[in-house]
């Protein structure tokens, strides 16, 4: 299968799994199974679950939101709303600490 078709297949499967299970409950094994491929094939296209999720968001943005033009004010609003939401999500995601939090008693 050509690379672009395989990528679309994987993104479709990821969309189905993320939609039904949510990001945190979705596993790469589940996505590979839904796509009918092995997990190594999935990792050849996407290095991590986050990479896959972000690629899916990019595809959704490209399919549903156009670049704003001055002749269409509604597309500008939609574009601004999308970029504000995506920016807020990515900023909050990056701020998360990968280390477990501990409390000090004293």
At residue 96, the pLDDT reads 53
Nearest C-alpha neighbor of 59 from the set 98, 24, 95, 7: 7
Classify domain 1-67 by CATH number.
Answer: 1.10.10.60
- Going from N- to C-terminal start, the domains of the chain cover 1-67
State pTM to two decimals.
0.63
Helix, strand counts (H, E) of the chain:
5, 0
Which parts of the chain have pLDDT scores under 70? Answer: 66-106
pLDDT in tens, 15-34: 999 999 998 999 999 999 99
Tell me what percent of the residues of the chain surpass a pLDDT of 90.
51
- Give the alpha-carbon dihedral of 80, 82, 85, 86, to 10 degrees: -120
């Amino acid at each position: 299968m050509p690379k672009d078709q395989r990528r679309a297949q994987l993104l479709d499967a990821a969309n189905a799994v993320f939609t039904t299970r949510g990001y945190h409950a979705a596993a790469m094994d589940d996505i590979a199974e839904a796509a009918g491929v092995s997990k190594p094939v999935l990792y050849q296209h996407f290095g991590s679950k986050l990479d896959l999720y972000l690629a899916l968001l990019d595809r959704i943005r490209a399919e549903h939101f156009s670049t704003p033009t001055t002749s269409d004010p509604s597309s500008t609003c939609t574009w601004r709303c999308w970029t504000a939401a995506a920016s807020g999500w990515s900023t909050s995601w990056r701020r998360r600490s990968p280390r477990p939090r501990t409390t000090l008693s004293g």
